[in-house]
Amino acid sequence: MKHVYGWLLLTPAAILLIAFTHYPAAATLFDSFFSTGTVVRPSRFVGLANYAALLDDPIFWQVLRNNLAFALGTIPTSIALALLMAIWVNDKLPARALVRMSYFTPTILPMVAVANLWLFFYTPQIGLLDKVGAMFGAPSHNWLGDPHTVMSCLAVMTVWKEAGFFMIFYLAALQSLPPEIEEAAKIEGASRWYFFRRVTFPLLMPTTLFVLVNATINSFKLVDHLFILTKGGPDNASSLLLYYIYQVAFSFFDTAYASTLTVVLLALLAGLAIVQFQQIEKRVHYR
């Protein structure tokens, strides 16, 4: 009887998980072994042909490189910035609530709205960036139209958007640290930097792990801005893996290849998560 009760409690969550997470994942894997079917040409089993095509697809390799560059460009910076901001607004400073709120504001804006804002920051000549630059005599630059700068532009915008969100977690963690430790450190004569390096930062490790996992997932998950800002261009210079999957699925209607790409993305994310948990768990002190 107890068993039945337990299973009944589990059922709603289980149904949702199976219907919207596990079944689609399994179906995606299954579809990746078939060709894309149309009414004229029905789908058929092709084995690993889709994966072979993927290895030969230069755009796939380019978006993968782009995605890694995007992750490296956004994750460390946004985490460092989040930590810095959290420590800053954790102190007693005037108008603390206002400062906290202003750091958090970018987070509550939808990504599409943010992208529309930044589109006008980056627009040559009439954009904010060029207007400020012009005051100092800098020449106008085609920020999003230049393959060498477009990725950095997207990274800066993402850091701006994300750092405030991660700050909240650090802020909560900082406030849960017992004040006695700091008092003890002061009595022992530890410098602020020494205290941060040897006490605060290690104690924040669980938060850092959480933030790191989230930031990594986000760097693969966030593509809304591409629809507004660059559509992956110029010449795929700013395209990301998930955006490419969207293009393949809904612009090319190649569902089989889109499934194949999705499987790769899933495997990549699962792999990253495992590495993160294993490596960092060793250095995390849970209390």
Partner 1 sequence: MRSIFAIVTAALIGLAQAAWADTEVTFYYPIAVGGPLTKVIDGYAADFEKSNPGVKVKPIYAGNYDDARIKALAALKAGQPAQISVLFSIDIYELLEQDVIMAWDDVATSADDKAWIKSFYPALMLNGTYKNKVYGIPFQRSTIVMYWNKDAFKEAGLDPNKPPANWDEMTRMAGKLVKKDASGNVQRWGVEVPSTGYAYWMFQAFARQNGQDLMNRDGNQTNYANPDVIAALQYWRDLGAKYKVMPEGTVEWGTLRQAFTEGKTAIMWHTTGNLTAVRDQAKFPFGVAMLPAAKQRGSPTGGGNFYLFKKTTPEERKAALAFVKFMTAPERAADWSMATGYVATSPAAYDTPKLKDYAAGFPPALVARDQFQYATPELSTFQTGRVRKLLDDAIQASLTGQKQPADALKAAQAEADKLLKPYR
Which range, of 11-19, 115-123, 162-170, 177-185, touches partner 1 by CB under 8 A?
A: 115-123
**Angle at which helices 96-108 and 150-176 cross, to 10°:** 130
C-beta of 74 vs 230, nearer to partner 1: 230
Q: If we measure between CA atoms, which residue out of 88, 94, 97, 104 comes closest to residue 165?
A: 104
User: Does 251 contact partner 1 by CB under 8 A?
Assistant: yes
Whole-angstrom CA distances from 238 to 152, 203, 221, 243, 262 are: 9, 37, 14, 10, 19
Chosen residue from 20, 120, 194, 277 binding partner 1 by CB under 8 A: 120
Q: Report the alpha-carbon distance of residue 51 to residue 265 in Å, rounded.
A: 13
Taking the complex as a whole, the smallest distance from the CB of residue 112 to partner 1 amounts, in Å, to 13
C-beta of 209 vs 237, nearer to partner 1: 237
Which range, of 48-56, 142-150, 179-187, 217-225, touches partner 1 by CB under 8 A?
A: 142-150
Q: Report the alpha-carbon distance of residue 190 to residue 32 in Å, rounded.
A: 58
SS3 34: strand
Chosen residue from 1, 4, 40, 97 binding partner 1 by CB under 8 A: 40
Site for partner 1 in 205-244 (CB under 8 A): 228, 230-231, 233-237
Taking the complex as a whole, the smallest distance from the CB of residue 132 to partner 1 amounts, in Å, to 13
Q: Report the alpha-carbon distance of residue 159 to residue 212 in Å, rounded.
A: 13
Which token pair is 280?
């960092």
User: Does 39 contact partner 1 by CB under 8 A?
Assistant: yes
User: Does 44 contact partner 1 by CB under 8 A?
Assistant: no
User: Does 56 contact partner 1 by CB under 8 A?
Assistant: no
User: Does 135 contact partner 1 by CB under 8 A?
Assistant: no
Chosen residue from 12, 94, 110, 137 binding partner 1 by CB under 8 A: 137
User: Does 140 contact partner 1 by CB under 8 A?
Assistant: yes
Taking the complex as a whole, the smallest distance from the CB of residue 280 to partner 1 amounts, in Å, to 39
Which range, of 47-55, 96-104, 106-114, 250-258, touches partner 1 by CB under 8 A?
A: 250-258
Q: Report the alpha-carbon distance of residue 218 to residue 281 in Å, rounded.
A: 21
Q: If we measure between CA atoms, which residue out of 75, 73, 60, 51 comes closest to residue 211?
A: 75
User: Does 55 contact partner 1 by CB under 8 A?
Assistant: no
Count the alpha carbons within 13 Å of 117 in the hemisphere toward its beta carbon: 11
Residue by residue, DSSP assigns 210-242 as HHHHHHHHHHHH--HHHHHHTTT-STTTT--HH
- Contacting positions for partner 1 (CB under 8 A): 38-40, 119-120, 123-127, 134, 137-140, 142, 144-147, 228, 230-231, 233-237, 247, 250-254
